[in-house]
Structure 1
Amino acid sequence: MAIRFIVKDPDPVLREHAKPVPKITPNIHKLLDDMADTMYEAQGVGLAAPQIGILKRVIVMDCGEEHGGLIELINPEIIAKEGEQLGPEGCLSIPGLQGDVRRAAKCTVKGWNRNGDEITVEGTELLARCIQHEVDHLNGVLFTDVAESVYRPEPEEQEQ
């Protein structure tokens, strides 16, 4: 397992459409492991393969144990959305900026797990937001493209 370099905007790879994964191989297992390690090292909640320069339809997410812990999806496809939420988003590929993004409040995605089994994940709140954000990456869309406002967050006060 390895920590990969996270590509930053305006790198053109972030605007490309990722290609479907035709079959699960040991290289895909390594990619999933490296993506999870990279996401955790960067203290993110999600990462898409294009963010490490790989144009494959692969995402990892971890929005906490209450949302199921680490979720790995290969060839994810959003199959249902409902409701609406407006909230802040950031991105490991766009450090220093956040934006208020309107997303579905509930989202269902299907894809493959690392064993090639089709799985369905249903998310609400943060997980729903994360699913939509990461699938956008696979289609070359950044949160800044869909945000209602983009801003630099206030620095958090440090405890003394």
Structure 2
Amino acid sequence: MTGVKDDLPDHLLALLGRVMDDFRVDLHAASTGAAGARRPAPVRGLRSSQLRLLSLTPVDGMRVTDLAARVGMTKQALGEFANDLEERGLLETVRDPADRRVRILRPTLRGRQAVEAGEQMIGEVEARWRERLGPRKWDQLRALLVEAHEAWPGAAGA
């Protein structure tokens, strides 16, 4: 009988997916349970996808359509994320003074605190991964990821 993790492909999409899944598991562990209890309240229990959205939302806000494009989501999917983050008090909706039909999302003070705590938590998880892989390999991995992103035609600075 084949197990769930047996015979996994080793193409880049699968490899990157598994690494991201592993990183998310470590990040989730850092934000929940005993480890999470030591974190500031706004970041406790946040999923990595929620933290990513918060961290990519400018302090002064961004139009929903522009933010959806920035994070690579549909406007509808972003709306669902935003609603959940608004219920948690991490995001707020304001109307564009120039066009009241336009919805602008911006982080609340609590949301900005979650981003700050989340970035610290991500740094801690990265430090553990750096220890596991060794500093040279970790630094190479990060540098290659940055280089691969910057080589993409749509990347800023490319």
Considering fraction of residues, name the structure with more strand. 1
TM-score, normalised to structure 1, is: 0.26
The answer to which structure, 1 or 2, has the higher relative contact order (CA under 8 A, 6+ apart) is: 1
Considering fraction of residues, name the structure with more helix. 2
